[in-house]
Amino acid sequence: MTEIIEAIDAWTLDRYAAYKTKLYGFSELIHVTAGEGSVEQIFPATYDNREKVTINDKYSFITWMRWQSPATYENNEQWNFGAEDARFAVLPLRLVLIHKSDLGEDLCFDFVNNLPSKLTVSGYKFVFVKPEFSVDPDHDAIIQQELGPANYLVYEKHRFKWNVYVINITCEFIACESLTP
């Protein structure tokens, strides 16, 4: 399923090529404690090489994605291919979009309104992005949840320079069985 996230990142990079972008891709929350009595730190890290996700002034447009809840699979006779039902899957994604505020308040809505409804992804018969999205603009809550309380002070210092959103996206797909190991 990382290929779906990579396809969304490829679209994002193409659409927003004029900005200095940092697209972390598929990430997950990491909880670490340095030792007894230490404060637990929470931060997202990339799934493949464990690169720590950060808000970095070198960039003006930053994203990362996490699974929001479990992917679900079901047999679906509507999408059958011959004698057997297709294995239809739903993948809910949480996309965090952070951009410098001088890029404007409407950038998030440009993203949502132009995200393609169908992605071409190798290894999949189809990948649809459902047209229903939810956009959460609660900067403080997002930073606390995604970067944890220990990193909140770092963000607080720069809070007026950044807009922070969570865009909840749902992808529906059928993988090509013949291409899946």
* CATH label of the domain that carries residue 135: 3.30.2000.10
pTM of the model: 0.86
Query: Residue 165: what residue type?
Result: Y
Q: pLDDT band at residue 181, thresholds of 50, 70 and 90?
A: very low
- Total domains in the chain come to 1
What's the pLDDT at 31? 81
pLDDT, tens digit (0-9, with 9 covering 90-100), for 84-131: 667 789 999 999 999 999 999 899 999 999 999 999 999 888 899 999
Mean pLDDT for the chain overall: 86
Could you tell me which residue, 8 or 177, shows the higher pLDDT? Answer: 8
Strands 21-32 and 61-67: parallel
Domain extent, residue 127, equals 2-179
Has residue 76 got a pLDDT over 90? no
CB 65, CB 23: distance < 8 Å: no
pLDDT reading at 77 higher than 80: no
